[in-house]
Amino acid sequence: MIVAQTLAIARNTFREAVRDKVLYNLVAFAVIMTASALLFGEISIGIQKSILINIGLSSISVFGLLIAIFLGIGLVYKEVDKRSLYALLSKPVHRWQFIVGKFLGLNLTLLVNTLFMSLGLWASMYYLTRGFQPEDIHIWTAIYFVLLELFLITAVCLFFSCFSTPILSAIFTFLIYIVGNSASDVRDFGKLTENATLEWLATLVYYLLPNFSDFSAAGLVSHGLPVPGHLVLLNTSYALCYSGILVIAAVWIFSRRDLK
């Protein structure tokens, strides 16, 4: 019963996203970007496929990021603000189910969205080379990494959405995304300062904030190189643990919150 209830919330979140015109616009943009990638690929002699994969994966990542942030920041806040969850929470449902259901629903949206964009990229690759090479399969690992990154961003948005306004949540998430993408640089910068306090702070930021830099495998797969198996395992565990902790924190905050 608990699983069915949580899945009902997830399904409704997915349905809301599908019926949301913003999502359609972003998908349309994704189609345009993929078409552009195709065009760039054709005018770059010799490295068409590499450019196509790079632009395609970047588009999938950017559009996924926009969808995750725009929908994620309102995931809880909108329901509290519009009071649409009052009727829901007066049913025999736990607050944690609401949070987990919302998280799963947005991730399902991102999964479907990424899948459609990936199929677009795959079709573009076929159009460009009139066939597939065995190493083309590696782009699915890179797409899997993009998905893991998006799940992590969704968890960050959900966490902020439990106690902050959408604008602040968007700012916080975006900043975390930027810092998280240059996490190694932040740690290296701390070492360069030769100041113990700054180095300690930089190391703290490195470990505390999500590290997004390891989720990019476009450089490898665009050159037909495989992604090491241990990186797949490490990134999967990292994304699951980190988003798990954030979802638990979101549940903890939301369960104690008065819905005024």
Is residue 109 within 8 A of residue 66, CB to CB? The reply is no
Q: Is 8 in the site for another protein (CB under 8 A)?
A: yes
CB of 57 to another protein, least distance (A): 32
- 108: contact with another protein by CB under 8 A: no
Q: Using N-to-C axis directions, what is the helix angle for 183-193 and 166-181, rounded to 10°?
A: 70
**Under rule CB under 8 A, residue 201 binds another protein:** no
DSSP state at residue 92: S
Q: Does the footprint of another protein cover residue 259 (CB under 8 A)?
A: yes
Closest approach of Cβ 104 to another protein, in Å? 15
* Interface with another protein, residue 12, by CB under 8 A: yes
Least distance to another protein, CB of residue 21, Å: 10
- What letter represents residue 150's amino acid? L
Residue 16 near another protein by CB under 8 A: yes
Nearest alpha-carbon partner for 106 in 153, 169, 146: 153
Residue 198, classified by CB atoms within 10 Å of its CB into exposed (0-12), middle (13-18) or buried (19+), is middle
Count of residues in contact with another protein, rule CB under 8 A: 24
Cβ-based nearer residue to another protein, 92 or 134: 92
Q: What is the per-residue binding string for another protein in 63-102, x denoting contact by CB under 8 A?
A: -------------------xxx-xxxxxxxx---------
Task: Report, in Å, the least distance between residue 7 CB and another protein.
Answer: 9
How far apart CA 28 and CA 22 sit, in angstroms, is 10
Cβ proximity to another protein, 86 vs 126, nearer residue:
86
Question: Which two structure tokens, joined as six digits, stand for 183?
Answer: 């996490």
Q: Which residues of 43-62 are buried (b: 16+ CB within 10 A; e: fewer)?
A: eeeeebbbbbbbbbbebbbe
Q: In the complex, which residues of this chain contact another protein (CB under 8 A)? A: 1, 4-5, 8, 12, 15-16, 19-20, 82-84, 86-93, 256, 258-260
